[in-house]
Amino acid sequence: MMLIAASSWGQQSLWNTTTEDSPQINSDNSVTFRMLAPKANSVQVTGDFQTVKSTDMVKDEKGVWSYTTPPLSSELYNYNFMIDSVKVCDPSNVYQIRDVSSVMNLFIVGGGQADWYKVKDVSHGTVSKVWYDSPTLGFKRRMTVYTPAGYEYNKNKKYPVFYLLHGMGGDENAWMDLGRTSQILDNMIAQGKVVPMIVVMPNGNVVQDAAPGESNKGLIQPNMYLPKTMDGTMETSFPDIVKYVESHYRTVADKSHRAIAGLSMGGFHSQTISKLYPNLFDYVGLFSAAIGMEDKKTSSPAYADPDGKLKVQFEHAPKVYWIAIGKDDFLYNQNANYRKTLDENGYHYAYYESDGGHIWRNWRVYLTKFLPLLFK
């Protein structure tokens, strides 16, 4: 009787579901993808688990297309299927992430680095989508705030704050969805490798109040290229964010308890914000930073006298000034030149060089390397 009821329930409230086991992570860490598509002419799988652009899947007698990878190293991977050359998500895998205007499936191969990206049986922080007031920009804006496990219980404890900035085309959701920030923080705090901290992930596009779909612009197509991303406005409006955070959360409001880092455009913002306000941050992280990519036509005070600003910043140098980039990153040379400038002036920094290019896989790794350095 429950079965009959459940079946009626299904007919009314649900679409029929697909039941292929895909992706199936095998005991040797190879991964099998499957899709039922008897009428398709061709099916491929594309994704960052392989170096080729796509791999043909093979159809069996039931019309199930499949492909098994070689054993994969531990990582969070993304993929799509191509049905008759149309890129789609795997209908059997509900786990998806959006990168700008692309939606991709994800899976995690554990047993190494990607164990930081898993939800584990540890205490979890709270993740909030908060609207703060930006008097400088003249409107309210959305940001993501992670408060560590215990924040709600330890009502007299004050916490350091880490401001974590996204790249071009990203928004206040990017570090959570693509960067696995809350999982990394939960897991590294639980293991005692990272001190409990508040992580603030603002929206770095000053023309947006919120991520696509979360603002009154409606369900728009996300756009990689927005105006005013690197014209100094993010930098000059940044104190609005700090002011909101320090008046609404229990923070230790001094330089030695503030950190800022970001990827690509957000790495550039971290560089420029930390030197525009040299007394604000004792920890600075530049992840594949888009150094020197600012709008050269701007007259923003944020970009005036860069050498003088850098000198002032390093007169009371940050405790950690950390630069990371991949060997294949198209911004490698800009970062090498910037390191040369720091070297020539005797400004101390730490450097981490990885394989690979301008990709989220690297930014997740950089986050796990940078976090243990903070507030110690």
Residue 28 or 343 with smaller CB distance to a copy of itself: 28
Q: Does residue number 106 form part of the binding site for a copy of itself (CB under 8 A)?
A: yes
Q: Does residue number 360 form part of the binding site for a copy of itself (CB under 8 A)?
A: yes
Q: Tokens representing 22?
A: 């895909």
Residues belonging to the chain: 376
Q: Does residue number 157 form part of the binding site for a copy of itself (CB under 8 A)?
A: no
Give one DSSP letter per residue of 166-207, joined into a string.
--TT--TTHHHHTT-HHHHHHHHHHTTSS---EEEE----TT
Shortest separation between residue 91's beta carbon and a copy of itself, angstroms: 6
Q: Does residue number 36 form part of the binding site for a copy of itself (CB under 8 A)?
A: yes
Shortest separation between residue 244's beta carbon and a copy of itself, angstroms: 9
Please, which contacts does 306-312 make with residues 24 or more away whose CB atoms are closer than 8 Å?
Answer: 306/275, 309/275, 309/276, 309/278, 310/275, 310/341, 310/345, 310/347, 311/345, 312/275, 312/278
| Out of 278, 291, 329, 365, the residue judged to bind a copy of itself by CB under 8 A | 329
Spell out, one character per residue from 201 to 230, where the chain touches a copy of itself: x when CB under 8 A holds, - when not.
---------x-xxxxx-xx-xx-xx-----
d(CA 224, CA 39): 35
Shortest separation between residue 145's beta carbon and a copy of itself, angstroms: 9
Interaction with a copy of itself in 108-127: which residues (CB under 8 A)? 108, 118-121, 123-127
Taking residue 319's Cβ as centre, other Cβ atoms within 10 Å add up to 16
Spell out, one character per residue from 81 to 100, where the chain touches a copy of itself: x when CB under 8 A holds, - when not.
--xxxxxxx-xxxxxx-xxx
Shortest separation between residue 19's beta carbon and a copy of itself, angstroms: 8
Identify whether the C-beta of residue 75 lies closer than 8 Å to the C-beta of residue 361. yes
Which 3 state secondary structure label does DSSP give 87?
Answer: strand
Interaction with a copy of itself in 159-198: which residues (CB under 8 A)? 167-169
Q: Tokens representing 277?
A: 């306000």
Interaction with a copy of itself in 287-326: which residues (CB under 8 A)? 293
